[in-house]
Amino acid sequence: MYLAALKLNNFRNYSRQEISFHPQINIFSGLNAQGKTNLLEAIYYLTAARSFRTNQELDLLRFESDFFSLGGILHKKEGRFKIELLYRPSQPLQIRVNSLAIRRGEYLYRYPVVTFTPDDLLLIKEGPSRRRRFLDTEGSRLKPFYHHRLRDYYRVLQQRNRVLKEKRSGRHSGPGLMEPWDEALIELGAIIVRERIKLLKALETQARSHFLTLAGEQESLALCYLSTIEFSEDPGLIEDIFREQLSAGYTDELRRGATLTGPHLDDFAIAINGSDARKFASQGQQRTAVLALKIGEVDLFKRSGTETILLLDDIFSEFDEKRGAHLLQFLSKREGQSFITTASPLAGEGNLAGCSKSYSIYGGKIRID
């Protein structure tokens, strides 16, 4: 899959811009605050109908404008897709693919794009919710089954928490009221945990080999699922242990008005050379680990028969020469398309002749070099 061309109107600091791309590597250079990340955001938005930076469409609207639009030509194995998105404040986003209107819910994440931005380091630095979101987004994009069960789980969780709160306030005291919610929570929760473990294992296998290549022979990466359900590595026990823990924790849950065990509170650990990356790894190691995860994601999509576009925002300046060179080599060998932004000259760009195109961005205008 590759994006052959993009048209932006009133998107962030772009007023009007039309641009065609190389099917392999595209490199955008520019000083700070010229529109490099905005361009990657436009590509992401075109393919996902959402941004990786904001949930507010209004933020994307160029100041003083009353609409923004994005258009693109996407080539896939199945053919050529002309995509048109139009946003006006207080109206639903309009989406057309080959002139056919499509609802946003059906379009979300239709064309998988993997991003790596400096913010992704928070995957290691921040608390569990960011890592859960990562697993859930990737799980949902790779497997609609996961997406649906996750949605069902959160619905049940919401209902169960509502009943807990009602019981706490004395509005409900009937016996047996919890049981149907408990059973649904256990059934769906066990599915989610098993799927996440499978996903994490697959991701670990891929990410490990990328981490080795990027970092060198002496470093190793490991991912480990951390569940609030204490089934001690035997997934066959999840349901029974989950049930036991719910029952043992009931008084506490009633007092707090919330469900205190389940995949909605789980996490995973990222270890480098056997130590927790959050506490012990250097900045460069953390960055390499996250990049290895992201490239692992690209591999998983590929295994499921889907080519992805890779968006790499301003990451080369953060890597040493060796890691940067490995990454460029990987991108030049890969079949899929990549977009790279950089504020300083890219070491090794000269080796990409024939498989890349370079551009400069200045004040919301893009020029081919």
| Residue 61 contact among ligand ATP, Mg ion, none, beta carbon within 5 to 8 Å by kind | ligand ATP
Q: What string of DSSP letters covers 48-69?
A: HSS-SS-S-HHHHBPTT-S-EE
Decide whether 207 or 315 has the Cβ nearer to Mg ion.
Answer: 315
- Give me the least distance between CB of 309 and ligand ATP, in Å please: 18
356 belongs to the binding site for Mg ion (CB under 5 A): no
The Cβ of residue 326 has, within 10 Å, a number of other Cβ atoms equal to 19
| Residue 32 contact among Mg ion, ligand ATP, none, beta carbon within 5 to 8 Å by kind | ligand ATP
Q: Which amino acid is at 352?
A: L
Number of residues lying near Mg ion (CB under 5 A): 2
The Cβ of residue 211 has, within 10 Å, a number of other Cβ atoms equal to 24
The Cβ of residue 335 has, within 10 Å, a number of other Cβ atoms equal to 10
38 belongs to the binding site for Mg ion (CB under 5 A): no
Read off the tokens for 274. 């056997």
Decide whether 93 or 258 has the Cβ nearer to ligand ATP.
Answer: 93
**Interface segment toward Mg ion; rule CB under 5 A; list 31-39, 141-149, 155-163, 302-310:** 31-39
The arrangement of strands across the sheet holding 221-226 comes to 221-226, 267-272, 275-276
- Give me the least distance between CB of 46 and ligand ATP, in Å please: 16
- Give me the least distance between CB of 37 and Mg ion, in Å please: 3
C-alpha 341: how far from its chain's center?
A: 18
CA-CA distance, 271 to 220, in Å (whole number)? 8
CA-CA distance, 4 to 75, in Å (whole number)? 7
- Give me the least distance between CB of 138 and Mg ion, in Å please: 23
Decide whether 224 or 343 has the Cβ nearer to ligand ATP.
Answer: 343
| Residue 276 contact among ligand ATP, Mg ion, none, beta carbon within 5 to 8 Å by kind | none
Give contact residues for ligand ATP (rule: CB under 6 A): 12-13, 30, 32-38, 59, 61-63, 314, 343
Decide whether 16 or 151 has the Cβ nearer to ligand ATP.
Answer: 16
37 belongs to the binding site for Mg ion (CB under 5 A): yes
Read off the tokens for 131. 């890592």
The Cβ of residue 98 has, within 10 Å, a number of other Cβ atoms equal to 11
